[in-house]
Amino acid sequence: MSRMSGGCGMHNFCTLFDSNYLTRALALYRSLEKTGEDFMLYAVCFDELAHQILLKYNLPKLVLIRLDEFESPELRAVKSQRTAGEYCWTCTPHVIRYVLDTFDLSVVTYLDADLCFYAKPSILLQEWEESGASVLITSHRYTPRYDQSEASGVYCVQFMTFKADERGLTVLQWWQERCLEWCYNRVEDGKFGDQKYLDDWLQRFEGVHVLSHLGGGVAPWNVQQYRLSKRSDHLYVDDSPLVFYHFHGYKHYADGTHELGNYQLSPDVVALLYRPYVQALAAQQLEVEKLLPGFDRGRAVRVRSWKTPLRNVRRRLKKEFNEYRCL
């Protein structure tokens, strides 16, 4: 039986998260809806609370997958050896393979749950389709001052597409095996998490395409290189439509403070990206609280020490102090 693409013009996405990232995952879903893209989002819920809340939403373009439905014996065997974050990284390629196989899809795109879309992702996927490749990956495109390629990798596991053909499944199977063997939040022997494994894919495998469209992969570690603007209610990065932004490093503390990360962010970036995103998260928080009063997951715990004031002075001098009481 032939695999399904998901319908004429439909794009299949998958992601993973727990209740701490629930409002971000909902913001991701709503942003995809807002673009007008025809899509289906397959979501592996890493705790039962996230699953139970989302069941009540009954979202038409969201397919929920419980953790115990997804987990294989091989994954369970390494689970106790890894932190919660490391286990999520370990599971990433396995989530992609599970969705391809379980739902008989011909192609799926993995999304980090803290992405937000501003234009149809099909803009990016068209470039990949025209390349004839079976796998799509995105580069970090680091601003030189934030270049972490040696430690974190050249490419970012944030937006990745795999075809269920021989070339695509060969890459995916290799990645699954490597993440089972080793996937930790440390640099060791040229490895880091699930991400550093991507560094040599262009040389190791056939059919891998690196996204060139400027509107995909914009993130706090590279946004300094670009001119962000709003024209006719659409966002642009230089002269390309902004397709998605990666809100890596954002934290909402229990005291109400918003931390945007340790990067230099211009007033335009804060006003056009972070302020609307924080508002979107707040709106999703209110919606969740209607279903589950008192829901308070996702608030970060602030850790202070005698070094904190000195660290904040350094951040201010480098124009990287991004804490806001109100956005």
Whether 214 contacts 226, CB under 8 Å:
yes
Whether 277 contacts 247, CB under 8 Å:
yes
CB-based contacts of 58, cutoff 8 Å, min separation 6: none
pLDDT tens, residue by residue, 101-123: 999 999 999 999 999 999 999 99
pLDDT of residue 250: 96
Whether 322 contacts 253, CB under 8 Å:
no
Backbone CA torsion sign across 175, 180, 182, 183: positive
Give the pLDDT band (50/70/90) at residue 3: low
Structure tokens at 29: 């879903």
**pTM passes above 0.85:** yes
Whether 260 contacts 250, CB under 8 Å:
yes
Question: What whole-number distance in Å separates Cα of residue 265 and Cα of residue 263?
Answer: 6
Strand order through the sheet with 234-237 = 228-231, 234-237, 240-241
Domain ranges for the chain: 11-252
Q: Does domain 11-252 have CATH number 3.40.50.2300?
A: no
Structure tokens at 105: 């899809």
pLDDT tens, residue by residue, 77-103: 999 999 999 999 999 999 999 999 999
Identify the residue whose tokens are 């995103």: 277
Whether 250 contacts 259, CB under 8 Å:
yes
Partners of 46 in the β-ladder: none
Tell me which amino acid residue 163 is: K
Tell me which amino acid residue 132 is: G
| DSSP string across 84-139 | HHHHHHHHHHHHHHHHHHHTTBSEEEEE-TTEEESS-THHHHHHHHHHT-SEEEEE
* Mean pLDDT value of segment 156-160: 98
